[in-house]
């Protein structure tokens, strides 16, 4: 039987612990018992953890053997901020698919009240990705960056090397790249690289934003002839990229 996986809040040598609400869910909702075994993500390793102590706000584990961890593809999503309920659904699903990093971007078409509120949402988004990572049995939690403006995006992701494709998904493609599909763009690249994908808000990237992407060396690509909602585009693009890098 597959063991449930938890991401430790504290790790010290051969012991680990969940604390706070994280522990309360295991202790009170799932009714954990001393002696139960789970998979525990402890730093950069996955280890078998045996429950040794349970309190409402703390569950402790003795850590045993390490398990093999397969290197995962690295996909960064630069995700324009849009309606929070749908955006958080996209964050959750892209975490399950395997996104390594998510950078919320304040776009030209991001509503002003969402842009202001986004700065207070990072903690909630971190909870979303932690829960989704545990549910999907990931070996790590994706990084959720502080929301930024588009002009600061390259600095936030770190200027990638020449082998790292930075791809902007656009319905109104840059003229020189017209007709380029994301799948074809990815298939022409090495598999052993990080991919950065920029997904726009409802209504897509504004013309001046597409000009910024072009001037900054990004590659334009399309998800096809149909127009997808922002959350759908993020999930489809993430899945295509993960599959291409495997």
Domains of the chain, first to last: 5-67 (2.40.240.20), 74-245 (3.40.1280.10)
Can you give the pLDDT at residue 189? 66
| 215-242 per-residue burial string, b: 16 or more CB within 10 A, e: under 16 | eeebbbbbbeeeebebbbbbbbbbbbbb
* Rounded mean pLDDT, 195-199: 94
Can you give the pLDDT at residue 160? 54
Question: Percent of the chain scored above 90 by pLDDT?
Answer: 61
The reported pTM is 0.84
> Higher confidence at residue 3 or residue 101?
101
Token pair of 85, please? 């309920």
Can you give the pLDDT at residue 177? 47
Q: Could you read off the pLDDT of 131-141 as tens digits, one per residue?
A: 999 999 888 89
Q: What is the mean pLDDT of the chain?
A: 88
Query: Which DSSP state fits 181?
Result: B
In the predicted structure, residue 191 carries a pLDDT above the cut 70:
no
In the predicted structure, residue 113 carries a pLDDT above the cut 60:
yes
Can you give the pLDDT at residue 174? 46
Beta strands in the chain (DSSP E): 5-7, 10-12, 15-19, 37-42, 45-55, 58-67, 74-80, 101-106, 143-144, 148-149, 166-169, 194-199, 219-221
């Amino acid at each position: 039987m597959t063991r449930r996986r938890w991401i430790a809040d504290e790790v010290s040598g051969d012991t680990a612990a969940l604390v706070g609400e994280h522990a309360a869910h295991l202790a009170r909702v799932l009714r954990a018992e001393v002696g139960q075994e789970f998979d525990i993500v402890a730093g950069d390793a996955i280890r078998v953890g045996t429950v040794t102590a349970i309190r409402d706000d703390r569950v402790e584990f003795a850590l045993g053997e390490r398990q093999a961890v397969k290197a995962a593809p690295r996909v960064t999503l630069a995700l324009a901020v849009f309606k929070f309920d749908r955006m958080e659904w996209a964050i959750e699903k892209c975490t399950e698919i395997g996104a390594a990093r998510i950078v919320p971007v304040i776009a030209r078409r991001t509503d002003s009240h969402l842009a202001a509120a986004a700065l207070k949402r990072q903690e909630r988004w971190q909870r979303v990705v932690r829960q989704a990572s545990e549910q999907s049995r990931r070996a790590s939690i994706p990084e959720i960056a502080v929301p930024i403006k588009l002009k600061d995006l390259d600095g936030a992701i770190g200027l990638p090397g020449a082998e790292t494709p930075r791809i902007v998904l656009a319905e109104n493609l840059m003229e020189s790249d017209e007709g380029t599909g994301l799948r074809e763009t990815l298939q022409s690249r090495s598999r052993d690289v990080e991919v950065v994908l920029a997904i726009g808000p409802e209504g897509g990237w504004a013309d001046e934003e597409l000009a910024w992407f072009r001037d900054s060396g990004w590659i334009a690509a399309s998800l096809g002839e149909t127009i997808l909602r922002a959350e759908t585009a993020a999930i489809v693009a993430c899945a295509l990229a993960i599959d291409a890098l495997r």
